[in-house]
Amino acid sequence: MSVNLTLLLVMGVLYACGIYLILERSLTRVLLGLVLLANATNLLILATGGYAGLAPFFSKGTDSGDYNDPLPQALILTSIVISFAVTAFMLGIIYRTWALARQDDIQDDAEDRRVAKTPSFDAEDDAEVPQETSEFPLAAIAAGHTPDHPEAADHPGLAGSTPLNDDEGGGPR
């Protein structure tokens, strides 16, 4: 199978740029990276179709090896449509992120950060087990008084609302 060298080089450059871009933190660049990756893949599919040939319409007297392979082109068409839809959706998301947070960056998960900061000591799980755990301790009833409950240990505060919501409406319009 003969392969077009220009096609391969373009494909390689597109993949390299695409991968570089999706590693960025800016959403717009990530989107551009995804578009480049999709187009590089389309070129790859085109390359698998082999050498260029006649349009695959049946005509008498043409050898079957002279036609172009129509299947990769059908696949490319489908994948173009799909990447078009995904790109449109991503643009919508980027716009929404901008409207909510006034920034173009990918943000961290608040709950994730909170779990990462959790100390390994858990006030409830690691506390010493009291000898008497029943709700109606016999010793206490016999002595004629109720045991006072230990106060629940204080925790560092819950992660508040997410940074996205804090900024909502606050930015310049």
Span interacting with other proteins, options 54-62, 79-87, 126-134, 136-144, rule CB under 8 A: 79-87
- Measured from the CB atom, the residue of 144 and 156 that comes closer to other proteins is 156
DSSP class of 147 = P
Give residues with Cβ within 8 angstroms of 54, minimum separation 6. 62, 66, 67, 68
Q: How far is CA 82 from CA 15, 30, 88, in A?
A: 18, 17, 10
The verdict on 111 binding other proteins (CB under 8 A) reads yes
- Measured from the CB atom, the residue of 144 and 151 that comes closer to other proteins is 151
The verdict on 48 binding other proteins (CB under 8 A) reads yes
Span interacting with other proteins, options 54-62, 105-113, 126-134, 137-145, rule CB under 8 A: 105-113
- Using CB under 8 A as the binding criterion, the count of chain residues that bind other proteins stands at 48
The verdict on 101 binding other proteins (CB under 8 A) reads yes
At what angle are helices 70-101 and 27-48 packed, to 10 degrees?
180
The verdict on 75 binding other proteins (CB under 8 A) reads yes
Long-range contacts of 161-166 (CB under 8 A, 24+ apart): 162/107, 162/110, 163/101, 163/107, 163/110, 164/100, 164/101, 164/107
Give residues with Cβ within 8 angstroms of 110, minimum separation 6. 159, 162, 163
Structure tokens at 71: 């299947």
Closest distance to other proteins from the beta carbon of 60 (Å): 19
Residue numbers of the site for other proteins (CB under 8 A)? 1, 22, 27, 30, 34, 37-38, 41, 44-45, 47-48, 50, 64-65, 69, 71-72, 75, 78-79, 82, 85-86, 89-90, 93, 96-97, 100-101, 106-107, 109-112, 115, 118, 124-125, 152, 155, 158, 162, 164-165, 168
